[in-house]
Amino acid sequence: MAHAATDPRLASLADDAIVWASQHGLVVGLGAPPASAPACALVHAPLSVLPVAFPEARFEQAVGCMQLFSGLVDAVARDEDYLEQTLAQAAAFDDFTARLLSLLRDSRPARRAAAAAGREVVLGIHRSDYMLDGPSGGFLQVELNTIASSFACLSTLTGRMHRHLIGRAAGASDAARAAAEALAARLPVNKAMEEIAAAMAAAVEAAGGGVVLMVVQPGERNAYDQQWLQQTLWAAHGVRTVRLTLAQVGTRCEVEGGGGGGELRIRGEGGSKPQRVGLVYFRAGYAPGDYPSEAEWAARLLIERSAAAKCPTAAYQLAGSKKIQQALAALGAVERFVGEEGGAALRGLFAGLWSLDDPSAPETAAVIAEAIASPERFVLKPQREGGGNNLYGEELVARLRQGGPGLGAFILMQRILPPPQRSVLLRNGAWAEEESLSELGIYGTFLRKGEEVLLNRNAGHLVRTKTSTSNEGGVAAGFAVLDSPLLARPGEGLLPAELEGGGPSAPGAAAGGGGVLAAVLRLMD
Protein backbone atom coordinates (compact mmCIF):
# COMPACT_ATOMS: atom_id res chain seq x y z
CA MET A 1 0.00 0.00 0.00
CA ALA A 2 1.55 3.29 -1.10
CA HIS A 3 0.83 6.68 0.42
CA ALA A 4 1.09 10.06 -1.20
CA ALA A 5 4.14 12.13 -0.36
CA THR A 6 1.71 14.68 1.09
CA ASP A 7 0.09 12.17 3.50
CA PRO A 8 -0.21 14.30 6.66
CA ARG A 9 0.17 11.27 8.93
CA LEU A 10 3.56 10.37 7.46
CA ALA A 11 4.64 14.02 7.47
CA SER A 12 3.72 14.25 11.15
CA LEU A 13 5.71 11.11 11.99
CA ALA A 14 8.73 12.37 10.05
CA ASP A 15 8.61 15.74 11.80
CA ASP A 16 8.42 14.03 15.19
CA ALA A 17 11.39 11.84 14.24
CA ILE A 18 13.52 14.87 13.31
CA VAL A 19 12.67 16.64 16.57
CA TRP A 20 13.35 13.56 18.72
CA ALA A 21 16.63 12.81 16.95
CA SER A 22 17.82 16.40 17.31
CA GLN A 23 16.91 16.53 21.00
CA HIS A 24 18.51 13.20 21.88
CA GLY A 25 21.79 13.23 19.96
CA LEU A 26 20.74 10.91 17.14
CA VAL A 27 22.86 13.00 14.77
CA VAL A 28 25.81 13.01 12.38
CA GLY A 29 28.15 15.82 11.40
CA LEU A 30 27.63 17.76 8.20
CA GLY A 31 31.20 18.85 7.67
CA ALA A 32 34.67 17.39 8.04
CA PRO A 33 36.06 18.65 11.37
CA PRO A 34 39.56 17.97 12.66
CA ALA A 35 39.75 14.41 13.98
CA SER A 36 40.29 15.52 17.57
CA ALA A 37 37.53 18.16 17.56
CA PRO A 38 33.74 17.80 17.58
CA ALA A 39 31.73 18.72 14.52
CA CYS A 40 29.65 21.87 14.80
CA ALA A 41 27.28 21.50 11.85
CA LEU A 42 24.77 18.75 12.63
CA VAL A 43 21.92 16.92 10.96
CA HIS A 44 19.78 14.03 12.14
CA ALA A 45 21.23 10.63 11.26
CA PRO A 46 19.73 8.89 8.21
CA LEU A 47 16.70 7.14 9.71
CA SER A 48 13.73 4.93 9.08
CA VAL A 49 10.77 6.66 10.71
CA LEU A 50 9.32 3.33 11.89
CA PRO A 51 10.85 -0.06 12.73
CA VAL A 52 10.95 -3.03 10.38
CA ALA A 53 9.42 -6.43 11.17
CA PHE A 54 11.58 -9.54 11.60
CA PRO A 55 10.46 -13.05 12.57
CA GLU A 56 10.91 -13.36 16.34
CA ALA A 57 12.25 -16.92 16.23
CA ARG A 58 14.86 -16.05 13.59
CA PHE A 59 15.99 -13.00 15.57
CA GLU A 60 16.47 -15.16 18.66
CA GLN A 61 18.46 -17.67 16.59
CA ALA A 62 20.86 -14.95 15.46
CA VAL A 63 21.25 -13.59 18.99
CA GLY A 64 21.78 -17.10 20.33
CA CYS A 65 24.75 -17.71 18.01
CA MET A 66 26.64 -14.49 18.71
CA GLN A 67 28.75 -15.83 21.57
CA LEU A 68 29.75 -18.75 19.36
CA PHE A 69 30.84 -16.34 16.62
CA SER A 70 32.88 -14.27 19.09
CA GLY A 71 34.61 -17.40 20.37
CA LEU A 72 35.23 -18.46 16.78
CA VAL A 73 37.00 -15.18 16.00
CA ASP A 74 39.28 -15.60 19.01
CA ALA A 75 40.09 -19.21 18.15
CA VAL A 76 40.88 -18.39 14.51
CA ALA A 77 42.96 -15.36 15.48
CA ARG A 78 45.10 -17.46 17.82
CA ASP A 79 45.88 -19.97 15.06
CA GLU A 80 48.31 -17.79 13.13
CA ASP A 81 49.42 -20.65 10.90
CA TYR A 82 45.81 -21.03 9.75
CA LEU A 83 45.59 -17.30 9.02
CA GLU A 84 48.84 -17.35 7.04
CA GLN A 85 47.92 -20.41 4.99
CA THR A 86 44.33 -19.40 4.31
CA LEU A 87 45.16 -15.84 3.29
CA ALA A 88 48.29 -16.63 1.25
CA GLN A 89 46.53 -16.53 -2.13
CA ALA A 90 44.61 -13.35 -1.32
CA ALA A 91 47.78 -11.69 -0.01
CA ALA A 92 49.62 -12.51 -3.23
CA PHE A 93 47.28 -10.21 -5.17
CA ASP A 94 45.93 -7.86 -2.51
CA ASP A 95 48.51 -5.50 -1.01
CA PHE A 96 46.33 -4.57 1.97
CA THR A 97 45.93 -8.18 3.10
CA ALA A 98 49.67 -8.68 2.61
CA ARG A 99 50.47 -5.66 4.79
CA LEU A 100 48.18 -6.87 7.57
CA LEU A 101 49.91 -10.25 7.51
CA SER A 102 53.28 -8.50 7.69
CA LEU A 103 51.97 -6.55 10.67
CA LEU A 104 51.04 -9.83 12.32
CA ARG A 105 54.53 -11.27 11.75
CA ASP A 106 56.43 -8.14 12.77
CA SER A 107 54.53 -7.83 16.05
CA ARG A 108 54.80 -11.52 16.97
CA PRO A 109 57.88 -11.29 19.26
CA ALA A 110 56.36 -8.42 21.25
CA ARG A 111 53.03 -10.23 21.44
CA ARG A 112 54.70 -13.35 22.79
CA ALA A 113 56.66 -11.29 25.32
CA ALA A 114 53.45 -9.67 26.56
CA ALA A 115 51.76 -13.07 26.82
CA ALA A 116 54.73 -14.53 28.74
CA ALA A 117 54.54 -11.63 31.19
CA GLY A 118 50.80 -12.14 31.68
CA ARG A 119 50.00 -8.80 30.02
CA GLU A 120 48.24 -9.91 26.83
CA VAL A 121 44.71 -8.44 26.79
CA VAL A 122 42.54 -8.62 23.67
CA LEU A 123 39.06 -7.18 23.21
CA GLY A 124 36.69 -8.10 20.42
CA ILE A 125 33.71 -5.91 19.57
CA HIS A 126 32.14 -7.93 16.79
CA ARG A 127 29.01 -7.62 14.71
CA SER A 128 27.51 -10.45 12.70
CA ASP A 129 25.32 -9.12 9.88
CA TYR A 130 22.38 -11.00 8.36
CA MET A 131 19.65 -10.66 5.79
CA LEU A 132 16.42 -12.62 5.63
CA ASP A 133 16.44 -15.13 2.81
CA GLY A 134 13.02 -15.01 1.17
CA PRO A 135 12.94 -18.61 -0.13
CA SER A 136 13.87 -20.18 3.23
CA GLY A 137 12.48 -17.54 5.57
CA GLY A 138 15.65 -17.65 7.68
CA PHE A 139 18.60 -15.35 8.27
CA LEU A 140 21.81 -15.89 6.31
CA GLN A 141 25.07 -14.25 7.34
CA VAL A 142 26.33 -11.43 5.14
CA GLU A 143 29.61 -10.95 7.00
CA LEU A 144 31.26 -10.95 10.41
CA ASN A 145 32.79 -7.59 11.32
CA THR A 146 35.77 -7.57 13.67
CA ILE A 147 37.03 -3.98 13.31
CA ALA A 148 35.25 -0.62 13.70
CA SER A 149 31.80 -2.18 14.11
CA SER A 150 30.01 1.15 14.11
CA PHE A 151 26.59 2.63 14.92
CA ALA A 152 26.06 0.78 18.21
CA CYS A 153 25.24 4.03 20.01
CA LEU A 154 23.03 5.58 17.35
CA SER A 155 21.26 2.22 17.01
CA THR A 156 20.50 2.28 20.72
CA LEU A 157 18.93 5.70 20.27
CA THR A 158 17.01 4.64 17.15
CA GLY A 159 15.16 1.95 19.09
CA ARG A 160 14.22 4.48 21.77
CA MET A 161 12.97 6.87 19.09
CA HIS A 162 10.79 4.19 17.52
CA ARG A 163 9.26 3.34 20.89
CA HIS A 164 8.45 7.04 21.34
CA LEU A 165 6.98 7.48 17.85
CA ILE A 166 4.70 4.44 18.11
CA GLY A 167 3.38 5.76 21.42
CA ARG A 168 2.83 9.22 19.95
CA ALA A 169 0.98 7.77 16.97
CA ALA A 170 -1.85 6.35 19.08
CA GLY A 171 -5.19 8.11 18.96
CA ALA A 172 -7.09 9.29 22.01
CA SER A 173 -9.04 6.08 22.63
CA ASP A 174 -8.02 3.53 25.23
CA ALA A 175 -8.07 0.85 22.53
CA ALA A 176 -5.61 2.78 20.35
CA ARG A 177 -3.26 3.38 23.26
CA ALA A 178 -3.40 -0.30 24.24
CA ALA A 179 -2.67 -1.32 20.64
CA ALA A 180 0.29 1.08 20.51
CA GLU A 181 1.68 -0.31 23.77
CA ALA A 182 1.36 -3.86 22.46
CA LEU A 183 3.13 -2.92 19.23
CA ALA A 184 5.94 -1.06 21.02
CA ALA A 185 6.42 -4.06 23.31
CA ARG A 186 7.64 -5.96 20.23
CA LEU A 187 10.75 -3.74 20.09
CA PRO A 188 13.58 -5.63 21.84
CA VAL A 189 15.52 -3.51 24.31
CA ASN A 190 18.84 -2.49 22.76
CA LYS A 191 21.72 -1.86 25.17
CA ALA A 192 24.51 -1.85 22.60
CA MET A 193 25.89 1.48 23.81
CA GLU A 194 26.02 0.38 27.44
CA GLU A 195 27.32 -3.13 26.71
CA ILE A 196 30.15 -2.00 24.46
CA ALA A 197 31.24 0.76 26.84
CA ALA A 198 31.22 -1.75 29.71
CA ALA A 199 33.41 -4.16 27.73
CA MET A 200 35.87 -1.37 26.90
CA ALA A 201 36.05 -0.36 30.56
CA ALA A 202 36.65 -3.99 31.54
CA ALA A 203 39.51 -4.18 29.02
CA VAL A 204 41.12 -1.06 30.50
CA GLU A 205 40.88 -2.59 33.98
CA ALA A 206 42.32 -5.91 32.79
CA ALA A 207 45.23 -4.05 31.19
CA GLY A 208 46.06 -2.24 34.43
CA GLY A 209 44.25 1.06 33.89
CA GLY A 210 44.79 4.10 31.70
CA VAL A 211 42.89 5.92 29.01
CA VAL A 212 41.16 4.59 25.91
CA LEU A 213 42.97 5.66 22.76
CA MET A 214 40.31 5.83 20.04
CA VAL A 215 41.98 5.73 16.62
CA VAL A 216 39.76 7.68 14.22
CA GLN A 217 39.69 8.87 10.62
CA PRO A 218 40.27 12.53 9.77
CA GLY A 219 37.01 14.35 9.05
CA GLU A 220 34.74 11.65 10.52
CA ARG A 221 31.04 12.50 9.97
CA ASN A 222 29.99 9.71 12.31
CA ALA A 223 31.92 11.18 15.24
CA TYR A 224 28.79 11.42 17.41
CA ASP A 225 28.28 7.67 17.44
CA GLN A 226 31.87 7.43 18.68
CA GLN A 227 31.49 10.29 21.16
CA TRP A 228 28.44 8.65 22.73
CA LEU A 229 30.82 5.82 23.64
CA GLN A 230 33.27 8.33 25.08
CA GLN A 231 30.56 9.94 27.21
CA THR A 232 29.25 6.58 28.43
CA LEU A 233 32.76 5.40 29.31
CA TRP A 234 33.27 8.49 31.46
CA ALA A 235 29.79 8.75 33.00
CA ALA A 236 29.35 5.05 33.81
CA HIS A 237 32.94 3.90 34.35
CA GLY A 238 35.16 6.94 34.94
CA VAL A 239 37.36 6.08 31.95
CA ARG A 240 38.73 8.89 29.79
CA THR A 241 39.12 8.73 26.01
CA VAL A 242 41.67 10.40 23.73
CA ARG A 243 40.94 10.62 19.99
CA LEU A 244 43.88 10.48 17.57
CA THR A 245 44.34 9.65 13.91
CA LEU A 246 46.96 7.08 12.95
CA ALA A 247 49.19 9.94 11.79
CA GLN A 248 48.84 11.59 15.21
CA VAL A 249 49.61 8.29 16.93
CA GLY A 250 52.94 8.27 15.11
CA THR A 251 53.92 11.70 16.41
CA ARG A 252 52.38 11.66 19.90
CA CYS A 253 52.71 8.06 21.13
CA GLU A 254 55.62 5.93 22.27
CA VAL A 255 56.21 2.50 23.76
CA GLU A 256 57.98 2.52 27.09
CA GLY A 257 61.61 1.48 26.67
CA GLY A 258 61.28 1.67 22.89
CA GLY A 259 61.00 -2.10 22.56
CA GLY A 260 58.21 -4.62 22.29
CA GLY A 261 55.74 -5.44 25.03
CA GLY A 262 56.13 -2.10 26.84
CA GLU A 263 53.44 0.31 27.96
CA LEU A 264 51.94 2.58 25.31
CA ARG A 265 51.93 6.24 26.33
CA ILE A 266 50.57 9.44 24.80
CA ARG A 267 53.13 12.20 25.23
CA GLY A 268 51.98 15.22 27.19
CA GLU A 269 51.50 18.57 25.46
CA GLY A 270 51.83 22.04 26.93
CA GLY A 271 53.28 20.79 30.17
CA SER A 272 50.71 18.04 30.72
CA LYS A 273 51.81 14.62 31.91
CA PRO A 274 52.03 11.59 29.59
CA GLN A 275 48.98 9.35 29.62
CA ARG A 276 49.17 5.58 29.90
CA VAL A 277 46.98 3.81 27.32
CA GLY A 278 44.96 0.90 28.67
CA LEU A 279 43.02 0.13 25.47
CA VAL A 280 43.45 1.06 21.82
CA TYR A 281 40.06 1.05 20.09
CA PHE A 282 40.16 1.26 16.30
CA ARG A 283 37.46 3.16 14.44
CA ALA A 284 39.94 3.48 11.57
CA GLY A 285 42.53 1.21 10.03
CA TYR A 286 40.13 -1.10 8.21
CA ALA A 287 40.74 0.19 4.66
CA PRO A 288 43.80 0.99 2.52
CA GLY A 289 42.86 4.68 2.51
CA ASP A 290 43.54 4.80 6.25
CA TYR A 291 47.25 4.23 5.48
CA PRO A 292 48.21 6.94 2.96
CA SER A 293 51.90 6.69 3.89
CA GLU A 294 54.36 4.46 5.70
CA ALA A 295 53.90 6.67 8.78
CA GLU A 296 50.42 5.23 9.39
CA TRP A 297 51.69 1.66 9.05
CA ALA A 298 54.50 2.46 11.49
CA ALA A 299 51.95 3.84 13.95
CA ARG A 300 49.85 0.68 13.67
CA LEU A 301 52.94 -1.45 14.30
CA LEU A 302 53.82 0.68 17.34
CA ILE A 303 50.38 -0.12 18.77
CA GLU A 304 50.59 -3.82 17.91
CA ARG A 305 53.98 -4.10 19.65
CA SER A 306 52.74 -2.45 22.84
CA ALA A 307 51.23 -4.09 25.92
CA ALA A 308 48.02 -2.05 25.64
CA ALA A 309 44.81 -3.99 25.11
CA LYS A 310 43.71 -3.75 21.50
CA CYS A 311 40.32 -3.79 19.82
CA PRO A 312 41.04 -5.38 17.48
CA THR A 313 44.48 -6.91 17.14
CA ALA A 314 45.80 -7.45 13.63
CA ALA A 315 44.94 -11.14 14.07
CA TYR A 316 41.32 -10.35 14.96
CA GLN A 317 41.10 -8.04 11.95
CA LEU A 318 42.38 -10.78 9.65
CA ALA A 319 40.01 -13.32 11.22
CA GLY A 320 37.12 -11.15 10.04
CA SER A 321 38.26 -11.03 6.41
CA LYS A 322 36.04 -12.26 3.60
CA LYS A 323 38.47 -15.03 2.68
CA ILE A 324 38.40 -16.44 6.22
CA GLN A 325 34.59 -16.27 6.17
CA GLN A 326 34.57 -18.34 2.99
CA ALA A 327 37.19 -20.80 4.23
CA LEU A 328 35.29 -21.47 7.46
CA ALA A 329 32.28 -22.56 5.42
CA ALA A 330 34.28 -25.43 3.91
CA LEU A 331 33.48 -28.93 5.15
CA GLY A 332 34.85 -29.44 8.66
CA ALA A 333 36.55 -26.03 8.88
CA VAL A 334 34.37 -24.22 11.41
CA GLU A 335 34.04 -27.42 13.46
CA ARG A 336 37.82 -27.38 13.92
CA PHE A 337 37.41 -24.26 16.06
CA VAL A 338 34.01 -24.59 17.77
CA GLY A 339 33.29 -28.33 17.72
CA GLU A 340 30.54 -30.32 16.02
CA GLU A 341 27.61 -28.89 17.99
CA GLY A 342 28.77 -25.30 17.64
CA GLY A 343 29.55 -25.84 13.98
CA ALA A 344 26.06 -27.15 13.29
CA ALA A 345 24.52 -24.06 14.91
CA LEU A 346 26.67 -21.66 12.90
CA ARG A 347 26.24 -23.51 9.61
CA GLY A 348 22.52 -22.90 9.88
CA LEU A 349 23.33 -19.23 9.23
CA PHE A 350 25.93 -19.60 6.45
CA ALA A 351 25.13 -18.50 2.91
CA GLY A 352 26.73 -20.21 -0.08
CA LEU A 353 30.43 -19.25 -0.29
CA TRP A 354 33.02 -20.28 -2.87
CA SER A 355 36.80 -19.90 -3.12
CA LEU A 356 38.25 -18.55 -6.37
CA ASP A 357 41.84 -19.55 -5.59
CA ASP A 358 41.87 -22.07 -8.44
CA PRO A 359 39.37 -21.03 -11.15
CA SER A 360 40.26 -24.09 -13.24
CA ALA A 361 39.18 -26.58 -10.56
CA PRO A 362 36.00 -28.36 -11.76
CA GLU A 363 33.77 -27.25 -8.88
CA THR A 364 35.04 -23.66 -9.06
CA ALA A 365 34.71 -23.52 -12.85
CA ALA A 366 31.13 -24.76 -12.56
CA VAL A 367 30.07 -22.12 -10.04
CA ILE A 368 31.83 -19.38 -12.06
CA ALA A 369 29.86 -20.46 -15.14
CA GLU A 370 26.67 -20.43 -13.09
CA ALA A 371 27.42 -16.92 -11.80
CA ILE A 372 28.11 -15.62 -15.31
CA ALA A 373 24.84 -17.12 -16.53
CA SER A 374 22.79 -15.87 -13.53
CA PRO A 375 24.66 -12.94 -11.98
CA GLU A 376 21.57 -11.77 -10.08
CA ARG A 377 22.06 -14.76 -7.75
CA PHE A 378 25.64 -13.93 -6.74
CA VAL A 379 27.90 -11.20 -5.35
CA LEU A 380 31.68 -10.94 -5.81
CA LYS A 381 33.46 -9.69 -2.69
CA PRO A 382 37.02 -8.35 -2.33
CA GLN A 383 39.01 -8.25 0.93
CA ARG A 384 37.58 -4.86 1.93
CA GLU A 385 35.46 -3.32 4.69
CA GLY A 386 33.39 -0.16 4.82
CA GLY A 387 30.77 -0.59 2.08
CA GLY A 388 30.73 0.13 -1.64
CA ASN A 389 33.32 -2.47 -2.65
CA ASN A 390 31.31 -5.46 -3.88
CA LEU A 391 30.67 -6.33 -7.53
CA TYR A 392 27.21 -7.14 -8.86
CA GLY A 393 25.57 -7.81 -12.21
CA GLU A 394 27.59 -6.79 -15.25
CA GLU A 395 30.64 -5.82 -13.16
CA LEU A 396 30.63 -9.27 -11.55
CA VAL A 397 30.38 -10.96 -14.95
CA ALA A 398 33.18 -8.83 -16.40
CA ARG A 399 35.55 -9.61 -13.52
CA LEU A 400 34.80 -13.34 -13.62
CA ARG A 401 35.37 -13.43 -17.39
CA GLN A 402 38.63 -11.52 -16.94
CA GLY A 403 39.83 -14.34 -14.69
CA GLY A 404 43.53 -14.48 -13.95
CA PRO A 405 45.31 -15.42 -10.73
CA GLY A 406 44.18 -12.15 -9.09
CA LEU A 407 40.69 -13.59 -8.88
CA GLY A 408 41.87 -15.41 -5.76
CA ALA A 409 41.71 -12.10 -3.88
CA PHE A 410 37.89 -12.30 -4.17
CA ILE A 411 35.26 -14.68 -2.87
CA LEU A 412 32.00 -15.56 -4.60
CA MET A 413 28.91 -15.50 -2.42
CA GLN A 414 25.28 -16.45 -2.79
CA ARG A 415 23.22 -13.28 -3.11
CA ILE A 416 20.66 -13.18 -0.31
CA LEU A 417 17.24 -12.11 -1.56
CA PRO A 418 15.16 -10.71 1.32
CA PRO A 419 11.45 -9.97 0.97
CA PRO A 420 10.81 -6.21 0.62
CA GLN A 421 8.83 -4.14 3.10
CA ARG A 422 7.42 -0.60 3.03
CA SER A 423 9.41 1.99 4.95
CA VAL A 424 9.52 5.75 5.42
CA LEU A 425 13.14 6.78 4.93
CA LEU A 426 14.36 10.11 6.29
CA ARG A 427 17.50 11.87 5.06
CA ASN A 428 18.55 15.49 5.55
CA GLY A 429 15.07 16.55 6.63
CA ALA A 430 13.27 14.98 3.65
CA TRP A 431 11.23 11.77 3.81
CA ALA A 432 10.00 9.30 1.21
CA GLU A 433 8.01 6.10 1.41
CA GLU A 434 10.01 3.36 -0.30
CA GLU A 435 10.05 -0.35 -0.91
CA SER A 436 12.97 -1.41 1.26
CA LEU A 437 15.31 -4.22 2.29
CA SER A 438 16.83 -4.53 5.75
CA GLU A 439 19.98 -6.01 7.27
CA LEU A 440 20.24 -7.07 10.91
CA GLY A 441 23.49 -6.87 12.87
CA ILE A 442 24.05 -8.57 16.24
CA TYR A 443 26.85 -7.19 18.43
CA GLY A 444 29.02 -9.30 20.70
CA THR A 445 31.84 -8.46 23.10
CA PHE A 446 34.69 -10.83 23.94
CA LEU A 447 37.52 -10.11 26.38
CA ARG A 448 40.47 -12.40 27.05
CA LYS A 449 43.53 -11.98 29.26
CA GLY A 450 46.09 -14.66 28.54
CA GLU A 451 44.19 -17.95 28.58
CA GLU A 452 41.28 -16.62 30.65
CA VAL A 453 38.08 -15.46 28.93
CA LEU A 454 36.85 -12.58 31.09
CA LEU A 455 33.63 -11.97 29.19
CA ASN A 456 31.70 -13.19 26.16
CA ARG A 457 28.37 -11.39 25.90
CA ASN A 458 25.63 -10.52 23.48
CA ALA A 459 25.76 -6.76 23.13
CA GLY A 460 22.69 -5.45 21.32
CA HIS A 461 21.75 -5.01 17.70
CA LEU A 462 21.68 -2.77 14.63
CA VAL A 463 19.31 -2.62 11.67
CA ARG A 464 20.17 -0.87 8.41
CA THR A 465 17.48 -0.35 5.80
CA LYS A 466 17.97 0.63 2.16
CA THR A 467 15.80 1.00 -0.91
CA SER A 468 15.14 -2.28 -2.68
CA THR A 469 17.02 -1.00 -5.75
CA SER A 470 20.31 -0.44 -3.84
CA ASN A 471 22.99 -3.13 -3.86
CA GLU A 472 25.12 -1.84 -0.98
CA GLY A 473 23.96 -1.30 2.59
CA GLY A 474 26.34 0.95 4.52
CA VAL A 475 24.94 3.94 6.44
CA ALA A 476 28.25 5.80 6.63
CA ALA A 477 28.81 5.11 2.93
CA GLY A 478 25.45 6.74 2.14
CA PHE A 479 23.50 3.68 1.00
CA ALA A 480 21.23 2.96 3.98
CA VAL A 481 19.48 4.43 7.02
CA LEU A 482 19.37 3.36 10.66
CA ASP A 483 16.41 1.25 11.70
CA SER A 484 15.37 -1.11 14.50
CA PRO A 485 13.69 -4.53 14.65
CA LEU A 486 10.10 -5.18 15.61
CA LEU A 487 9.67 -8.86 16.41
CA ALA A 488 6.64 -10.56 14.92
CA ARG A 489 5.15 -13.99 14.43
CA PRO A 490 3.52 -15.41 11.29
CA GLY A 491 -0.17 -14.65 11.03
CA GLU A 492 -0.06 -11.24 12.72
CA GLY A 493 0.01 -9.17 9.53
CA LEU A 494 3.32 -7.49 10.39
CA LEU A 495 5.76 -9.60 8.36
CA PRO A 496 6.22 -9.57 4.57
CA ALA A 497 3.61 -11.70 2.82
CA GLU A 498 6.12 -14.48 2.02
CA LEU A 499 6.74 -14.98 5.75
CA GLU A 500 3.22 -14.57 7.08
CA GLY A 501 1.98 -18.14 6.94
CA GLY A 502 -1.23 -18.87 8.78
CA GLY A 503 -0.35 -18.47 12.44
CA PRO A 504 -2.84 -17.06 14.97
CA SER A 505 -2.94 -13.35 15.65
CA ALA A 506 -1.61 -12.17 18.99
CA PRO A 507 -3.25 -9.51 21.20
CA GLY A 508 -2.53 -6.05 19.86
CA ALA A 509 -1.40 -7.33 16.47
CA ALA A 510 -2.10 -5.38 13.33
CA ALA A 511 -5.41 -6.72 12.11
CA GLY A 512 -5.63 -6.42 8.37
CA GLY A 513 -1.95 -6.92 7.56
CA GLY A 514 0.20 -4.50 5.59
CA GLY A 515 3.25 -4.49 7.85
CA VAL A 516 4.45 -2.14 10.56
CA LEU A 517 3.78 1.02 8.55
CA ALA A 518 0.14 0.08 7.96
CA ALA A 519 -0.28 -0.92 11.61
CA VAL A 520 0.97 2.45 12.86
CA LEU A 521 -1.13 4.40 10.37
CA ARG A 522 -4.22 2.55 11.62
CA LEU A 523 -3.38 3.76 15.13
CA MET A 524 -3.49 7.32 13.80
CA ASP A 525 -6.89 7.03 12.10
What lies within 8 Å, CB to CB, of 192 at 6+ separation is 152, 153, 155, 156, 443, 459, 460, 461, 462
Catalytic position from the list 191, 265, 381, 448: 381
384 annotated as belonging to a binding site for a ligand: yes
Q: 386 an active-site residue?
A: yes
392 annotated as belonging to a binding site for a ligand: yes
386 annotated as belonging to a binding site for a ligand: yes
Number of H helices, E strands in the chain: 19, 20
**Using CA atoms, how far apart are residues 206 and 215, in angstroms rounded to an integer?**
20
19 annotated as belonging to a binding site for a ligand: no
Other Cβ atoms less than 10 A from the Cβ of 150: the count is 22
489 annotated as belonging to a binding site for a ligand: no
Q: 321 an active-site residue?
A: no
240 annotated as belonging to a binding site for a ligand: no
Instruction: Give the distance from CA 241 to its chain's centroid.
Output: 22
286 annotated as belonging to a binding site for a ligand: yes
Instruction: Please name the amino acid found at residue 299.
Output: A
Catalytic position from the list 111, 464, 484, 515: 464
Q: 143 an active-site residue?
A: yes
Q: 145 an active-site residue?
A: yes
Q: 194 an active-site residue?
A: no
Q: 127 an active-site residue?
A: yes
145 annotated as belonging to a binding site for a ligand: yes
Catalytic position from the list 145, 423, 438, 458: 145
Instruction: Give the distance from CA 282 to its chain's centroid.
Output: 13
226 annotated as belonging to a binding site for a ligand: yes
149 annotated as belonging to a binding site for a ligand: yes
Catalytic position from the list 263, 304, 385, 500: 385
Q: 84 an active-site residue?
A: no
30, 43 contact by CB (below 8 A) = yes
383 annotated as belonging to a binding site for a ligand: yes
Catalytic position from the list 386, 406, 450, 491: 386
Catalytic position from the list 107, 128, 150, 484: 150
317 annotated as belonging to a binding site for a ligand: no
**Using CA atoms, how far apart are residues 335 and 341, in angstroms rounded to an integer?**
8
Cis peptide before 485 (omega within 30 of 0): no
488, 186 contact by CB (below 8 A) = yes
Q: β-strand 264-266 against 275-282: which pairing, if any?
A: antiparallel
**Using CA atoms, how far apart are residues 42 and 82, in angstroms rounded to an integer?**
45
143 annotated as belonging to a binding site for a ligand: yes
150 annotated as belonging to a binding site for a ligand: yes
Catalytic position from the list 143, 205, 304, 433: 143
291 annotated as belonging to a binding site for a ligand: no
16, 168 contact by CB (below 8 A) = yes
247 annotated as belonging to a binding site for a ligand: no
381 annotated as belonging to a binding site for a ligand: yes
Catalytic position from the list 58, 322, 448, 449: 322
**Using CA atoms, how far apart are residues 134 and 499, in angstroms rounded to an integer?**
8
283 annotated as belonging to a binding site for a ligand: yes
Return the bridge partners of 293, or none.
none
Q: β-strand 378-382 against 264-266: which pairing, if any?
A: unpaired
Q: Nearest to residue 405, comparing CAs of 360, 367, 370?
A: 360
Q: 191 an active-site residue?
A: no
Active-site residue list: 127, 143, 145, 150, 322, 381, 385-386, 464
Which amino acids are annotated as binding site, given as ranges? 127, 143, 145, 147-150, 220-222, 226, 283-286, 322, 381-390, 392, 413-416, 439, 464, 466, 472, 475-476
Give the annotated binding-site residues for substrate: 127, 147-150, 220-222, 226, 283-286, 464, 475-476
> Which residues are annotated as part of the binding site for Mg(2+)?
143, 145, 385
Question: Which residues carry a binding-site annotation for ATP?
Answer: 143, 322, 381-390, 392, 413-416, 439, 466, 472
